[in-house]
Amino acid sequence: MDVFLLYSIFFIILSVTLLRNLIKRMSLPNPKLPPGSMGLPYIGETPKLFSQNPDDFFSTRQKRYGEIFKTHILGYKCIMLVNSEAIRYVLVTHAHLFKPTYPRSKERSIGPWALFFHQDGYHTRMRKLVQSSLTPSMVRNSVSCIEATAMSTLDSWSGGRLVNTFHEMKKFVFDVAVLSIFGHLDTGYKEILKKNYSTLDRGYNSFPICLPGSLYATSLRARRRLGQTLSEIIKERKEKSVADKDLLASLMNYKGENGEHLTDDQIADNIIGVLFAAHGTTASLLTWILKYMHDDPNLLGAIKVIMESLRMASVVSYTFREAVEDVEYKGHLIPKGWKVLPLFRNVHHNPDFFSEPREFNPSRFEIGPKPNTFMPFGNGVHACPGSELAKLEMLVLLHHLVNEYRWEIIGPNEGYEPFPIPRNGLPAKFWKLRR
């Protein structure tokens, strides 16, 4: 009888507890997916994103759905974040809930071992290796070489011939990146790398269909050739046993806790990843700076032009993360496995943070921006490790440009392909000043 009474009491307590928890859960509002449109089956809204000004694509949806909305791009279900607080939540304060991720097509183009596709231990180790070669002290040692490259580049533009500014800037940035990665690389290897990387770059943002002759399929073939060339360079470097201090040397000399070295594939993927991170973004930004300085000659001596150009151009419009579990943020459900895209561009163009955001005004940086509202190089542990090199090469090139040259832009110059690039690469003519 006592045992029966004890079981009865236990059953009643358990039932009351379960009922209380059930009532509590039913009384709480269930988080729902943010509002938005998923577009057409499979392709979603990808064609719309890549066929128009990204400002229009994002701002239209922000006005319609708010600062957190859903969409479907590049074959993935996505949550887009416009709010600076939400971006900090994803990239900094709750970064453990969101792993770095990119569409599979991007990983195939760059290489799965590139550091920005990873997190935790591997990412930390690779980031330290990259940063060790791109620290301010190491970058300062490269000033003379970068300056020689900048002066040679500018001299090749002079004479009044028509120049595609963006394409020429990409050549300059590529040369500086090669210098930082390999030191003084054999000219033959350099040209092979440049040719194949250019082909890879053209197909990187194309629709990822591997049909014969498609941009994407052609870029993947170029990626394989890049890997083969890098293997040859690595093999020659091993045979020479020279104590270099460039990024390639850092990657080749790495030894893990158990004595393991990086494979050739891991080294190649990280080299191509660094090239990718340094190439189009810096070249695009430099092209925009030339446009802004041309539009207002009073800006020629203002270094704050760079800061305002970083804000206005917002070349890195967004980054990719993926929810590792169901996450509730301010009443919105972010399902496990969905991509999360912090929209840096929308924060940089938010009138609450930057008055008259469509107006180019370097003086706004005479007072520092509010925290977490200016993120040209990203935020958190995955912020760009090569930002110091990018700043240096921009400063060196612009120093010689504004002091020794003048230029004229030919034709209209607004455009997006699909990221902000002046139309037709900003055709311009350059003249060297007479002393």
**Residue 9: which pLDDT band, with cuts at 50, 70 and 90?**
low
Q: What is the pLDDT of residue 7?
A: 54
Residue 42 has pLDDT above 90, yes or no: no
Condensed to tens digits (0 to 9), the pLDDT of residues 204-259 reads: 878 788 888 899 999 999 999 999 999 999 999 988 876 677 889 999 998 888 88
Tokens 């970064």 label which residue?
Answer: 95
Average pLDDT of the residues in 317-321: 86
Q: What is the pLDDT of residue 415?
A: 56
**What pLDDT was estimated at residue 414?**
60
- Looking at residue 246, its pLDDT comes to 86
> Where is pLDDT greater, at 71 or 423?
71
pLDDT of residue 148: 92
| End-to-end Cα distance, the chain | 110
Q: Is the pLDDT of residue 417 over 90?
A: no
pLDDT one-digit tens code per residue, 259-268: 899 999 999 9
Distance of CA 113 to the CA centre of its chain: 16
174 pLDDT tier (thresholds 50, 70, 90): very high
pLDDT digits (tens, 9 = 90+) for 143-162: 888 899 999 999 999 988 99
The answer, yes or no, to whether residue 24 has pLDDT greater than 80, is no
H-assigned helices in 183-263: 187-204, 215-240, 247-252
User: Amino acid identity, residue 179?
Assistant: L
Cα separation, 424 vs 287, whole angstroms = 11
What pLDDT score does 14 carry? 56
- pLDDT band at 320; cut points 50, 70, 90: confident
pTM for the full predicted model? 0.77
Residue 368 confidence (pLDDT): 80
List all residues 6 or more positions away from 224 whose beta carbon is below 8 Å from its beta carbon.
Answer: none
10-48 as b/e, with b when 16 or more CB fall inside 10 Å? Answer: eeeeeeeeeeeeeeeeeeeeebebbebeebeeeebbbeb
Q: What is the DSSP string of 65-130?
A: H-SEEEEEETTEEEEEE--HHHHHIIIIITGGGEEE---HHHHHHH-TTSGGG--HHHHHHHHHHH
Question: Quick check: 293 pLDDT over 60?
Answer: yes
For residue range 352-403, list pLDDT tens digits in order: 999 999 898 888 888 888 888 998 888 877 777 777 788 888 888 988 898 8
Give the type of residue at 321: R
The phi, psi pair for 202, rounded to 5°, reads -65, -30
Query: From CA 259, how far away is CA 190, in angstroms rounded?
Result: 32
* Confidence check: pLDDT of 282 > 80: yes
What's the CA angle centered on 351, arms 348 and 357, to 5 degrees?
60
What's the chain's average pLDDT?
85
Residue 259 has what DSSP assignment? Answer: S
d(CA 226, CA 279): 16
Q: And the tokens for 276?
A: 């990718």
For 340-350, what is the mean pLDDT?
91
- The answer, yes or no, to whether residue 26 has pLDDT greater than 70, is no
Q: Which residue has the higher pLDDT, 276 or 421?
A: 276
141 pLDDT band, cuts 50/70/90, is confident
Those residues with Cβ within 8 angstroms of residue 414's Cβ, 6 or more apart along the chain or in another chain: 422, 423
Average pLDDT over residues 43-67: 85
Instruction: Take residue 335 and report the two structure tokens written for it.
Output: 């399902």
Q: What is the CA radius of gyration of the chain?
A: 25
Q: Using CA atoms, how far apart are residues 414 and 422, in angstroms rounded to an integer?
A: 5
| Residue 331 clears pLDDT 80, i.e. is over it | yes
Per-residue pLDDT band for 61 (boundaries 50, 70, 90) equals very high
Phi, psi of 389, deg, nearest 5: -65, -40
Q: For 91-95, 136-140, 163-167, 288-292, which range has the lowest pLDDT when averaged over its residues? A: 136-140
b (16+ CB within 10 A) / e for 256-279: eeeeeebebebbbbbbbbbbbbbb
Token pair recorded at residue 33? 């997916």
* 280-299 mean pLDDT: 85
Pick the residue with more confidence: 296 or 182? 182
Q: What is the pLDDT of residue 28?
A: 45
Give the lowest-confidence range in 40-54, 333-347, 405-419: 405-419
Strand segments (E) across 311-426: 321-323, 327-329, 332-334, 339-342, 405-409
Tell me what percent of the residues of the chain surpass a pLDDT of 70. 89
Interaxial angle between packed helices 187-204 and 264-295, expressed in degrees from 0 to 180 and rounded to the nearest 10? 70
Helices H / strands E in the chain, number of each: 16, 10
Considering the chain, what percentage of its residues have pLDDT values greater than 90? 41
Confidence of residue 78 (pLDDT cuts 50, 70, 90): very high
